[in-house]
Amino acid sequence: MSLGKSIKRIDAFDKVSGRCKYTDDLCDKGAYIAKILHSTIAHGRVLNIDIEEAGKVEGVVKIITCFDLKEKNYFPTAGHPWSTDVSHQDVADRLLLTEEVKFYGDDIVAVIAEDTVSASKALEKIKVEYEEYPLVTDPIKAMEDGAIRIHKDYPNNILSHTSIRKGNYEEVIKDESLIKVEGWYETPPVQHCHIENFICYAYEENGRIVVVSSTQIPHIVRRVVGQALGIPWGKVRVIKPYIGGGFGNKQDVLYEPLCAFLSTQVGGKLVKLDTSREETFVATRTRHGMKTHIVSYLNKDGKYIARKIEVISNQGAYASHGHSIAAKAMGCFPQLYPCDNIEADAYTVFTNRPVAGAMRGYGIPQVMFAVESHTDDVAKKLGVDKIEFRLRNLMPVGYVDNFSKNVNYFDSFGQCIEKAKEYMDYDNRIKELENQTGDVRTGLGMAVYWYNTAVWPIALESSSCRMILNQDGSVGIQLGETEIGQGADTAFAQMAAAAIGVSVDKINVISVQDTDVTPFGTGAYASRQTYVGGFAIEKTAREFKEKIFEYAFKLTNVPPYMQYMKDGIIYRTTDNKELISLEELSKEALYSLSDSQHISAQQTAQIKSNAYSFGCCFAEVEVDIKLCKLKVNKIINVHDCGKLINPELAKAQVHGGMSMGLGFALSEIQLVDEKTGRVLNNNFLDYKLSTVMDHPHLEARFVENAEPTSVFGTKSLGEPPVCPVAPAIRNAVLQATGVGINELPLRPEKVFEYFKGANLI
Amino acid sequence: MYDIKAIYEAKTIKDASRLLLEHKDAQIIAGGSDVLVQVREGKRAGKELVSIYGLDELRGVKILPNGDIKIGSLTSFSCIIGSDIIKEHLPVLAYAVEQVGSPQIRNIGTIGGNTCNGVTSADSASTLFAYDAMIEISGMDYERIIPISEFYISAGKVDLKEGEIQTAIIIKKESYEGYFGRYIKYAMREALDIATTGCSVNVKLSPDKKYFEDVRIAYGVAGPVPMRAVNAENFIKGKEVNEENIDSFANEVLNDVRPRDSWRASKAFRSHIGVVMAARCLSRATELAGGDVDGRL
């Protein structure tokens, strides 16, 4: 059996040896180079563009300005499945190039040149005249009456506002015996920091346009390029090779439409658009900064009686994934600590900041920081043990969510917390750390989370798979779900091997997605690959085996229902007699002079379920009070993500997520100059992504309760590891010093402000 | 692809001077870990470069007959870290340059480049200031040696005249003998970071270890160029070794440093950590020197 084993990644050797081909490796070196002129104001209108001097730069082929666009095809960019229901479609507010500048870094001119130096020189010589409008970068200010409006159809700059109401919050809180706890919690916009910047190239072939792109979502890119260029979607072919990380940034259509368009402007010649790190920081996407307000009312027994949450999400200049992120963030609140009286509101607000989109965790790391920081604040106020308080109030076993129909089947929270406590030697350590004084103190903190797996019922869940039998009994498989570094191809190979009944080395996963060839799938996002892809693999394998057994019937006279296959050998069920190997069968099937067949199968699985994933993080943090520095000395994440397909790969996922969580907690923030809207730290020197030297040992452990709705017992793991880390660290600092720092990241300057406010220094 | 107009490789020190005099706008390039970044950013794009990277006579650390330590300007950070002479006599300098960037940058980056770049945040600079380092400069047909405090003129500007290159950094015997030092780089990351503030202290105690005979303290990023905190130094000289005096010394630093508000850090924050660093550096250096600081680290 291939499941549950830590086989090596199927792409490990090629990746480590540098043999894997990424977009830039595949692009012909003679390609034209496209570079974009980004606006140097945050809000206003382009009045005039002078390209005369730029056009004289040697090597410049063509310059296209926002005024050159004849047709204005507004297009959406979110990597969501298309909705045939107009009211559910993503907001179409982007143009290839724009006169209406909405953030510092907006795209206004594109230069096509023979090389990068010529293109860069030309950019410097372009003169732009603007009419400037006032700008707003703070979402709360942007919502105020009288604030400058960024998109004409959105009063108060509110892209969307949704609510949840349960019970009667206003009435219940009149009870004066209730204990009230209230807090504001803030998380900043941060960037994905994938190693490979966004890159794509495009050319025309036989009247169609081919785009090769570093994307998570090739089939969605095909649709959006078609929409942006106003051409039939079938005229677009998108190819996705190996990519150097995406983390949600590449779950957006970025510059593929512009690059495709530019190719059409130079006779279909090959044009490459390779964004710099600075552009990746400013002009792709970020995580949504959020301000979250939570009010809780508890009775004397420490039970939640009424709760309220307001989430204000900073969308930046364009809609991208829009309100779906804030809505998801808000939606996790009533379920984590169920309570009879709930008021929840989420606002997504346009500002003149870089555009926020999808990023690993999709709103949950932000709101989990608020919710789990607040939980510690509540426990502190009540004077009760923070873990016991959680266990008493967390989503109980048997809980069912009426919307998603998710069920909490197991005591995952209790089991995860127990494992983490054991690793941390929690009960002893917490006693040792009592009553500390001095400049350097240590605290133990923890936080929990829950996370969804797929996107149903918010959006479509569909996955297709194809299997083909090769001459030697090996099997080629293709899926629309993409390998983006997470190890999906390896998990698919293990699942396919198990579903078909062959060994993993007989499975060849065709990693590259080509929308002309690969079965339709919406790509890599949510934490859905093994869950949704698993259904498609299992369903296709059923058809595939049916065909194999039919053919074996012809060769052996044993009826299909009396056959089974294991390790590539077909047996008779009645006496386990070996009938024929898949290798012999496939050779016979292809080369038979009487009945030649290429055995293949393709199926689409639509999934109308979703699954809760649970876990926790515990962290021990040393606080140097005088130096305002934090050091995480010990940290563990424990996850119940169902059955593990590949334990080592699962750990790797957790390590990556914890790392992202540490950066979110301690150092990462995209800083914007409030006066100009310019991003101040658009590079890795000033944007403090943590290095390997900043990482403690990352411990990852699992609780494996098989998910009943999942064909392979799996549920989400890709995003969850980010979710509980920041609040666990914040709570450790609270434990050590008595100071709860409610603004991420907990960078020294912020720590200084809080410690000074608390008279610690 | 880098926008470089031309690159000339110097064969000798004189050759370097000649090339610089012939190409007045040319930029000297050594390891390139600063210059190439600046070319990419456009600041030095389209310029001529004069490479001195092949001048092996500028590499290496040695002790001169008079006991002075001479560090060739092209000596990489890695070589300084690994030098037995540095480890024995100037361990704090080895530690300071070990804080530079990453292993790759420390392999290519040179101490000459670090100082000639003229930035206040250079990891080597505050320690070199604290050691009263001397800078050796070579022109077409002359050499001159100046104190490092005179070498730095203003942010990004050092005292190199037309046709001159920096050839060595010299630490005099009387500047290091009997001194013990400590450097703290305050940064947001443990690697690949620029100092928010850097503080380097070295101390010489009286023979009975009871008094501060001499204390030198220098900062990076406390002003436009690296600087010494002279008021603090004068305050502590001759004082008794104890915690109270160390704390007073640290507070005295505020009369010297001129940190500013920027989006990278506020003045209030920089001042606060400047004081904490001064106290911790002096305590640690004093302990290394054999002094008793009331059992505190």
Rounded CA-CA distance A425/A432 in Å is 11
Give the pLDDT confidence score for residue B194 in this predicted structure. 94
Looking at the partner chain, which of B189, B194, B273 has a beta carbon nearest the beta carbon of A694?
A: B189
**Interface touch B276/A626, C-beta < 8 Å:** yes
Looking at the partner chain, which of A627, A691, A749 has a beta carbon nearest the beta carbon of B265?
A: A749
**Interface touch B3/A117, C-beta < 8 Å:** yes
Is B38 in CB contact (< 8 Å) with chain A?
A: no
Q: Which helix (H) or strand (E) holds A632?
A: strand A629-640
**Strand arrangement, sheet containing B197-205:** B180-186, B197-205, B212-220, B227-228
Is A58 in CB contact (< 8 Å) with chain B?
A: no
For A573-585, b where at least 16 C-beta lie within 10 A, e where not — what string? eeeeeebbebbbb
Question: In chain B, which residue's Cα lies nearest the Cα of A753?
Answer: B269
**Interface touch B264/A748, C-beta < 8 Å:** no
**Interface touch A121/B3, C-beta < 8 Å:** yes
HEC secondary structure over A664-687: HHHCCCCCECCCCCCECCCCCCCC
Rounded CA-CA distance A395/A17 in Å is 47
Give the pLDDT confidence score for residue B1 in this predicted structure. 84
Looking at the partner chain, which of A688, A749, A752 has a beta carbon nearest the beta carbon of B189?
A: A688
Q: A508 vs chain B: nearest CA distance in angstroms?
A: 38
Q: What proportion of chain B, given as a percentage, has pLDDT over 90? A: 96
Closest CA to A373 of A725, A14, A689: A725
**Phi, psi of B176, rounded to the nearest 5 degrees:** -115, -25
Q: A686 vs chain B: nearest CA distance in angstroms?
A: 8
**Strand arrangement, sheet containing A563-566:** A563-566, A569-572, A578-581
CB B190 within 8 A of CB B101: no
Rounded CA-CA distance A234/A222 in Å is 8
Q: B273 vs chain A: nearest CA distance in angstroms?
A: 6
Question: In chain B, which residue's Cα lies nearest the Cα of A669?
Answer: B264
Chain B residues within an 8 Å CB radius of A57: none
CB A63 within 8 A of CB A126: yes
Beta-carbon pairs below 8 A across chains A and B: 56
Is A747 in CB contact (< 8 Å) with chain B?
A: yes
Rounded CA-CA distance A112/A363 in Å is 37
Is A193 in CB contact (< 8 Å) with chain B?
A: no
Rounded CA-CA distance B26/B35 in Å is 12
What ipTM goes with this model? 0.94
| Beta pairing partners, A211 | A202, A238
Q: B134 vs chain A: nearest CA distance in angstroms?
A: 30
| Beta pairing partners, A445 | A619
**Interface touch B192/A117, C-beta < 8 Å:** no
Residue-by-residue DSSP string for A525-582 = -TT-HHHHHHHHHHHHHHHHHHHHHHHHHHHH---GGGEEEETTEEEETTT--EEEEH
Q: What proportion of chain B, given as a percentage, has pLDDT over 70? A: 99
Rounded CA-CA distance A135/A464 in Å is 45
Residue B216 Cα distances to A69, B128, B134, B200, B222, angstroms = 65, 11, 15, 8, 15
**Interface touch A749/B193, C-beta < 8 Å:** no
**Interface touch B186/A627, C-beta < 8 Å:** yes
**Interface touch B186/A690, C-beta < 8 Å:** no
Chain B residues within an 8 Å CB radius of A121: 3
**Interface touch A671/B263, C-beta < 8 Å:** yes
Q: B251 vs chain A: nearest CA distance in angstroms?
A: 14
CB B236 within 8 A of CB B227: no
Q: Which residue has the tokens 């983490």?
A: A420
Question: In chain B, which residue's Cα lies nearest the Cα of A278?
Answer: B41
Give the burial class of A619: count Cβ atoms within 10 A of its Cβ; 0-12 exposed, 13-18 middle, 19 or more buried. buried
Q: B265 vs chain A: nearest CA distance in angstroms?
A: 7
**Interface touch B273/A628, C-beta < 8 Å:** yes
Looking at the partner chain, which of B3, B186, B272 has a beta carbon nearest the beta carbon of A120?
A: B3
Rounded CA-CA distance A254/A260 in Å is 12
Looking at the partner chain, which of A116, A667, A761 has a beta carbon nearest the beta carbon of B188?
A: A667
**Interface touch B192/A690, C-beta < 8 Å:** no
CB A516 within 8 A of CB A581: no
Looking at the partner chain, which of B42, B192, B196 has a beta carbon nearest the beta carbon of A691?
A: B192
What is the DSSP secondary structure assignment for residue A9, as one 8-state letter?
P
Peptide bond connecting A457 to the previous residue in cis, omega within 30 degrees of 0: yes
pLDDT per position as a tens digit, B113-137: 999 999 999 999 999 999 999 999 9
Q: What is the mean pLDDT of residues B100-122?
A: 96
Confidence bin at B295 (pLDDT 50/70/90) = low
Residue B296, pLDDT > 50, answer no
Is B272 in CB contact (< 8 Å) with chain A?
A: yes
Is B269 in CB contact (< 8 Å) with chain A?
A: yes
**Interface touch B196/A748, C-beta < 8 Å:** yes
Q: A551 vs chain B: nearest CA distance in angstroms?
A: 58
Question: In chain A, which residue's Cα lies nearest the Cα of B261?
Answer: A749
Chain B residues within an 8 Å CB radius of A124: 42
Give me the residues of chain A with pLDDT under 70, please: none
Token pair, residue B56, equals: 């092996």
For residue B64, the SS3 value is: coil
**Interface touch A117/B263, C-beta < 8 Å:** no
Rounded CA-CA distance A232/A208 in Å is 10
Is A116 in CB contact (< 8 Å) with chain B?
A: yes
Rounded CA-CA distance A667/B99 in Å is 19
Strand residue runs (E) in A299-424? 304-316, 341-350
Is A673 in CB contact (< 8 Å) with chain B?
A: yes
Is B6 in CB contact (< 8 Å) with chain A?
A: no
Is A422 in CB contact (< 8 Å) with chain B?
A: no
Q: B164 vs chain A: nearest CA distance in angstroms?
A: 31
The bridge status of strand A563-566 relative to strand A513-514 is unpaired
Rounded CA-CA distance A308/A182 in Å is 9
Chain A residues within an 8 Å CB radius of B41: none
Rounded CA-CA distance B230/B272 in Å is 18
Q: A111 vs chain B: nearest CA distance in angstroms?
A: 17
Chain B residues within an 8 Å CB radius of A693: 189-191
Give the burial class of A556: count Cβ atoms within 10 A of its Cβ; 0-12 exposed, 13-18 middle, 19 or more buried. middle
CB A475 within 8 A of CB A502: yes
CB A325 within 8 A of CB A358: yes
Q: What is the mean pLDDT of residues B79-98?
A: 98
